[in-house]
Structure formats: C-alpha cells, structure tokens
Amino acid sequence: MVQGVNLAGSFTLPGSSRSVNRMGYGAMQLAGRDGSKVVWGPPRDVEGAIDVLREAVASGVNHIDTADFYGPHVTNQIIRKALFPYPGGLVIGTKVGARRGEDGSWIPGLSREELTGAVHDNLRNLDLDVLDVVNLRSMFSVHQPAEGSIEAPLTVLAELQQKGLIRHIGLSNVTPAQIAEARRIAPIVCVQNHYNLAHRADDALIAGLARDGIAYVPFFPLGGFSPLQSGTLSEAASRLHATPMQVALAWLLRRSPNILVIPGTSSINHLRENLQAAALQVPAEVLADLDAVSRQDAAIPISQHE
C-alpha cells in the first residue's frame, strides 16, 4: 500500500462539496482482450483486478473512472465486487455515448434510448441509486474531438440529472465549442480529453477551465510520443530515478491545479509506481526540459494508456 497519495492535493467538483484527490484510477485496463477485441470480456485474473482496486482505495484514491461499455459491463461489475459497499467519499465517474459492436468496435450510442439505457446499465452494474459523475463521450470521431452539436444527447443527460439519477455531468473527447454549448444546457464539472507532454492541443482550454473551476482529466499520458520525445522523457526519468510513466504523471499534476489524473493498470506493482508519482519532486530545470517536449519532432503514437 502506498501512503501519501494526497500529496498531489485535492480538487472540489464545482457546485458541490465533493472533493477528490487529484491522483485517481482509470478502470479501462481491468477488462480483458479477445484477439483483436480490446477492452473486451473479463480479465485473465479477476481476483487480481479486485486486489488492484482495493489497494488503490486503501492507498487514498477516491476517484475512479470507468464506463459500462468497458467489457462491456465487465469493469463496473468488478468495481462492485471489489468495493461494494463503497467507502464514504469515493467518487465513481462513468461515461456514456458509446456502445460496443460484436466485432469489438466502438459505435456511437447517443440516442435517447441508448443514453437512458446506458445510465441504467451503470446504475445496475455498480449497484448504485445515483451516479456521481456521468461524462458524455462525443463520438463524431472515435479517436479525437470533432465538431458537431451535442445539444440533443446532453439534454437527455440533463433530464436524467433532474430525475435524480445523475449528480454531476462531464464531457469527454470534446472541442471548446462543444463545451460552451454544453454549459448553456447544464453545469459541467469536468472535461476528459487526450492530453500529455507531447499532445498539448488543449493548453489554452485547460487554462480557461481552471479559471472557471472545472476539472480537466487527461487520458493517454504516454500516447502520441515520437522517439525523440520519448527519449527526452526517458532521460528525465533517469535523472529523477523514476519511470517515464511516473515523470509523465508528475508533470501533469504540476501542469495545472485543475488536472486530475486517472492512470490505469491491472498490476499492483504498476499501481504503486503510478501512485508514487504524486509525491515525485521535479526540479525546475527538468520541468523546463519536459515543457519543450511538445515542440520536438512530429508526434507518432507508440502507446495508449487511459
């Protein structure tokens, strides 16, 4: 068990008294794989996945990111088995807006019926009466934000919120225009987008959200690095006697106080390494080297960790 995860500080969700430690946990990697179908079916070691979740919470993690389309249904069922009845203060955030094809594909699921069904699937599989945070996943492009109105699906979530099934609404894979559109419909507490040392398209967005007290939750902390950029990160890790992932996470935590990180893993050893990043001290000169990474070379995806 890792102590001191709260050294990363906490963040209070806007419009609420719910505070979460900025170092969280992403549950996507708890699902299994079936050939080319990723995030599909149960993991090889269900008991090991349960142990990872229990250790994360025992170490101070009180913010878990999941989705019922992981598996599908698998990660939520493992979360319930591992942690129910849930400890006080634990915030579980989920995503809706996508569904899975039989071939493992990621398909938009944004109709009123699909969104309502997805919320009820999350409630049932997590054994909850109300969901803490529901993020609407924009699916105009599966892998990156793309413009298009999200008014219709966001209105459905706002109605479900008014019915008491959702406490807070967030957004995932969205553009600034979509965030502005959503905020005219309902209060938004967080935004989840692809962002890391090498992928800095949301720099201005993060600053704007910080001014408004809205959380920013980056995913793929090591996705989108060129070999040169990866080399710079590895050199920094060597100087700090840390792993590249630890340095990437520490940089994110120091990037802005509204950033919440949700590294995922199915390994207890990797979980412990990730949590230790919350306490990693990064000297100013190393931060300067890391800040220059996004300007080096063209980004070529080499790994993805949500």
Q: Is the pLDDT of residue 302 over 50?
A: no
State the pLDDT at residue 292: 87
What residues form DSSP beta bridges with 150?
none
Q: What is the pLDDT of residue 3?
A: 61
Whether residue 300 has pLDDT greater than 50 = no
Lowest mean pLDDT across 94-98, 117-121, 136-140, 294-298 = 294-298
* Residue 159: how many other CB atoms lie within 10 Å: 15
Helix (H, G, I), strand (E, B) or coil at 254: helix
Statement: residue 219 has pLDDT above 80: yes
The answer to the question of residue 231 being in a domain is no
Q: Tell me the pLDDT band of 89, cut-offs 50, 70 and 90.
A: very high
Residue 214 domain flag: yes
Catalytic entry in 25, 70, 86, 216: 70
Could you tell me if residue 172 is inside a domain?
yes
167, amino acid identity? R
Residues of the domain holding 210: 18-222+258-264
pLDDT band at 222; cut points 50, 70, 90: confident
Write the pLDDT tens digit of every residue in 174-210. Answer: 999 999 999 999 999 999 999 999 999 999 999 999 9
| Distance of alpha carbon 77 from alpha carbon 142, whole angstroms | 25
Average pLDDT rounded to a whole number, residues 96-111: 97
Distance CA 305, CA 283 (A): 25
* Structure-token pair, residue 123: 């409630």
**Which CATH number characterizes residue 210's domain?**
3.20.20.100
Selected residue with higher pLDDT from 134 and 5? 134
Q: pTM for this one?
A: 0.94
Q: For position 17, what pLDDT does the model report? A: 87
Report whether pLDDT(95) > 50: yes
Helical segments of the chain, H only: 46-58, 74-83, 112-126, 151-162, 176-183, 203-211, 227-240, 244-255, 268-276, 284-291
* pLDDT at residue 5, rounded to an integer: 55
The predicted structure's pLDDT at residue 159: 98
Residues near 252 by Cβ (< 8 Å), separated by ≥ 6?
195, 196, 218, 221, 259, 261
**Confidence band (pLDDT; 50, 70, 90) for 226?**
confident
- What share of residues in the chain are helix, strand, coil (percent, to 5)? 40, 20, 40
Pull the structure tokens for residue 238: 């060597």
Q: What is the model's pLDDT at position 305?
A: 37
Count how many domains the chain has: 1
- The 10s digit of each residue's pLDDT in 236-267 is 999 999 999 999 999 999 999 999 999 999 99
216 is catalytic: no
Residues 264-280 have pLDDT tens digits of 999 999 999 999 999 99
Q: Decide if 217 is inside a domain.
A: yes
What local confidence, expressed as pLDDT, does residue 2 receive? 67
